[in-house]
Amino acid sequence: MVKVLISDKLSPLAKEIFEKRGIQTDQIVGMTPEELIAKIPEYDGLAIRSATKVTPEVLAAAENLKVVGRAGIGVDNVDIKAATANGVVVMNTPFGNSITTAEHAIAMMFAVARQIPQANESTHAGKWEKSKFMGVELTSKTLGVIGCGNIGAIAADRALGLKMKVVAFDPFLSQERAEEIGVEKVELDELLSRADFITLHTPLTDSTRGIIGKDAFAKMKDGVRIINCARGGLIDEEALKEALDSGKVAGAALDVFAVEPAKENALFGHEKVVATPHLGASTTEAQVNVAVQVAEQMADYLLDGAVTNALNMPSVSAEEATRLNPYMKLAGELGSFAGQLTENALQKIQIEYQGDVTELNIRPLTAIVVEGLLQPLMDSVNMVNAMAIAKERDIEIIESKNEGEGDYHTMIKVSVTTDKQTRSVAGTLFADRRPRIVEVKDIRLEAELSHDMLYVTNEDLPGFIGALGTVLGDAGLNIATFSLGRAAEGGEAIALVSIDQPASDEVLAKVQALPHVRQVKALKF
């Protein structure tokens, strides 16, 4: 039975959805890394928020794990490289909490502009410090948005509604999109020098870590206010403290911290700092959205092979998955066939899609061909990591589509180039949707693959078939199917023989010794 572990606090709807779809689900929150490592081998799926750290060690222990689902956006708590290498799909829910998080950023902007948390505390203490809490208006002020993706764009939209001017820095923001949102696209330095308020909405990556540090503060207006509802590591907290102390920065509203959970931080207790404990996504609506979405996505993948919002796999809808399934089998068989015939270092894989298959999403098909090809070389390859492994090994992959039909209504041809030669194998789906091999080394034949096969190449001369049948019969091997093809009369011929039991090395040696045999190989599918 398929099993999922929920290791963070998620709406109970997630468990309900998993169970309704027949997936056994355990929720264990607050495990230590060691406890998670001990528990994870039991599960096919792991559903998390931000507290669980999916480290290489966790992934190495996760022998049955197929998918990690992040109920939220940021996946900096998941080692995606290690997940890919271990063949684990990583999914997130990119829109479920965007509005909520953008609203939190706007709430934090008001809080820091009017010192609401500080005034609240003072008023509760009976101090009535009316003159202490002089604020600033937002109307007509300039908001600088760093990272204008989903959340940044919503925050910008809300700020425009508050009659602010919005400038945005985002290297991937097009001029058209900026105009559509209603923001002025600027470079970072210009944003820093013009903004009265700055809000951060980028992921934490190597290029964004510490994007707001000493140098950036020096370029800002005096009295600027900073809001961070993205990730703690974007701001150098020491530099921020200095800028707050010097008066350069009038206030900071922080939902996220360099180290979380943040029980201690140099900024805590600072009178100009408003802090919340990573509450950006914490609304009822957002938590329902992300929990439902992650559970549906993970169940779709585990049960039907549909891939949505994966960070390390191409997307495949449930409808596409159904149409793709027979092609996946064909692509896997072609890859595996070519891989078992390949004895030298792979240099190039060419995959040609012809006819009906060109209407489908070919990326997962290519991934599965490459998986099949690499499998004889390594155990740990699967369709999630196959492309990355091929890239690492400098194997060139070329896909091409030819919409017109050839002799078959649909065909996939895989050509493999090694340092010695190029070999190809092609297959189609017949009306029964079962795969058939229709070409090997440009020689036509028609074979359905089975668990144990013999691949024999020989010179096309009389007597070979009888001799081969005798060797197999003498060894007690029953022939299930026998497919033959030849380049030309008397030329190279290929036999693909399906046998009911595997052939021993001794049988293979006897076949190899038959007159006119060039090569014999036992294949497994």
Ligand X SMILES: NC(=O)C1=CN([C@@H]2O[C@H](COP(=O)(O)OP(=O)(O)OC[C@H]3O[C@@H](n4cnc5c(N)ncnc54)[C@H](O)[C@@H]3O)[C@@H](O)[C@H]2O)C=CC1
Show which residues are catalytic: 231, 260, 278
**Nearest approach, Cβ of residue 100 and ligand X (Å):** 8
Single out the segment in contact with ligand AKG by CB under 6 A; choices: 16-24, 37-45, 274-282, 484-492: 274-282
Q: Of 19-27, 68-76, 370-378, 404-412, which segment contacts ligand AKG by CB under 6 A? A: 68-76
Q: Which of 208, 282, 350, 402 touches ligand AKG by CB under 6 A?
A: 282
| Token pair belonging to 28 | 């264990």
Q: How far is the CB of 293 from ligand X (least distance, A)?
A: 13
Q: Which residues does 473 contact at the CB level (< 8 Å), separation at least 6? A: none
Question: For residue 227, what are its two tokens?
Answer: 């809001």
Nearest alpha-carbon partner for 199 in 173, 177, 170: 170
- Measuring CA to CA, how many Å separate 383 from each of 214, 305, 373, 374? 44, 11, 11, 10
Question: Which is closer to ligand AKG, CB of 229 or CB of 472?
Answer: 229
What is the three-class DSSP state of 396? strand
Interface with ligand X (CB under 6 A)? 72-74, 94, 97-98, 101, 146-152, 169-172, 201-204, 207-208, 229-231, 255-256, 278, 280-281
If binding is defined by CB under 6 A, does position 49 make contact with ligand AKG? yes
| Residue 294 makes contact with ligand AKG by CB under 6 A | no
Best CA proximity match to 194, nearest among 175, 227, 166: 166
Q: What distance in Å separates the CA atoms of residue 518 and residue 494, rounded to the nearest whole number?
A: 10
Query: Rule CB under 6 A: which of 413-452 touch ligand AKG?
Result: none
The CA angle 99-92-302, to the nearest 5 degrees, is: 135
* Gyration radius from the chain CA atoms: 30
- Contact between 52 and ligand AKG by CB under 6 A: the answer reads no
Among 138, 275, 281, 295, binds ligand AKG (CB under 6 A): 281
CB of 100 or CB of 336, closer to ligand AKG: 100
**Helix, strand, coil content of the chain in percent (nearest 5):** 35, 25, 40
Report the nearest approach of ligand AKG to the CB of residue 294 (Å): 10
| Least distance between ligand AKG and beta carbon 232 (Å) | 10
Q: Name which of ligand X, ligand AKG, none residue 373 binds, using a CB cut-off of 5 to 8 Å depending on partner kind.
A: none
Under the binding rule (CB under 6 A), the answer on residue 309 touching ligand AKG is no
Residue 72 per-residue DSSP state: S
Query: Shortest CA distance to 2 belongs to which of 303, 323, 327, 449?
Result: 303
Short-list 457, 355, 362, CA closest to 409: 355
Which one of ligand AKG, ligand X, none is in contact with 208 (Cβ closer than 5 to 8 A by kind)?
ligand X
Strand-pair partners of 348:
396, 417
Cβ-proximal residue to ligand AKG, closest one: 72
Nearer to ligand X, 170 or 196 (CB): 170
What tokens appear for 288 in the block?
């329902």
Minimum CB distance to ligand AKG smaller for 200 or for 429:
200
Q: Which is nearer to ligand X, 93 or 366 (CB)?
A: 93
From the list ligand AKG, ligand X, none, pick the one residue 202 interacts with, judged by a Cβ distance below 5 to 8 Å according to partner type. ligand X
Rounded distance between C-alpha atoms, residue 9 and residue 298, angstroms: 17
Binding-site partner at residue 151 among ligand X, ligand AKG, none, CB < 5 to 8 Å by type: ligand X
Residue 230 vs 523, nearer CB to ligand AKG? 230
Choice between 7 and 101, CB closer to ligand X: 101
CB atoms inside a 10 Å sphere around CB 508: 17
Q: Does residue 72 contact residue 290 with C-beta atoms inside 8 Å?
A: yes
DSSP string, 258-280: SSSS-S--TTTT-TTEEE-SS-T
For position 73 contacting ligand AKG by CB under 6 A, the verdict is yes
Of the residues 69, 72, 87, 372, which one makes contact with ligand AKG according to CB under 6 A: 72
Name the segment binding ligand AKG (CB under 6 A); options: 67-75, 305-313, 415-423, 459-467. 67-75
Choosing from 50, 410, 415, 428, the residue that interacts with ligand AKG (CB under 6 A) is 50
Report if residue 232 touches ligand AKG, rule: CB under 6 A: no
Sheet of strand 249-254, all strands in order from the earlier edge strand to the far edge: 184-185, 165-169, 142-146, 197-200, 224-228, 249-254, 273-275
Distance CA 213, CA 239 (A): 6
| Nearest residue (CB) to ligand X, 97 versus 410 | 97
E strands in 133-290: 142-146, 165-169, 184-185, 197-200, 224-228, 249-254, 273-275
Number of residues that bind ligand AKG (CB under 6 A): 10
- Three-state DSSP class for 187? coil
CB of 169 to ligand AKG, least distance (A): 20
Helices (H), 144-187: 150-161, 175-181
Site string for ligand AKG, 77-106 (x = CB under 6 A): --------------------x---------
3-state secondary structure of 473: helix
Work out what residue 185 binds among ligand X, ligand AKG, none; the CB cut-off runs from 5 to 8 Å by kind.
none
| Beta carbon of residue 327, minimum distance to ligand AKG (angstroms, whole number) | 35
Residue with Cβ nearer ligand AKG (194 or 278): 278
- With CB under 6 A as the contact rule, the residue among 74, 251, 332, 364 that binds ligand AKG is 74
11 binds ligand AKG, rule: CB under 6 A: no
- What sign does the CA torsion over 21, 23, 26, 29 have? negative
Select from ligand AKG, ligand X, none the partner in contact with residue 49, using the beta carbon and a kind-dependent cut-off of 5 to 8 Å.
Answer: ligand AKG
CB-nearest residue to ligand X: 149
Interface residues with ligand AKG (CB under 6 A)? 49-50, 72-74, 97, 278, 280-282
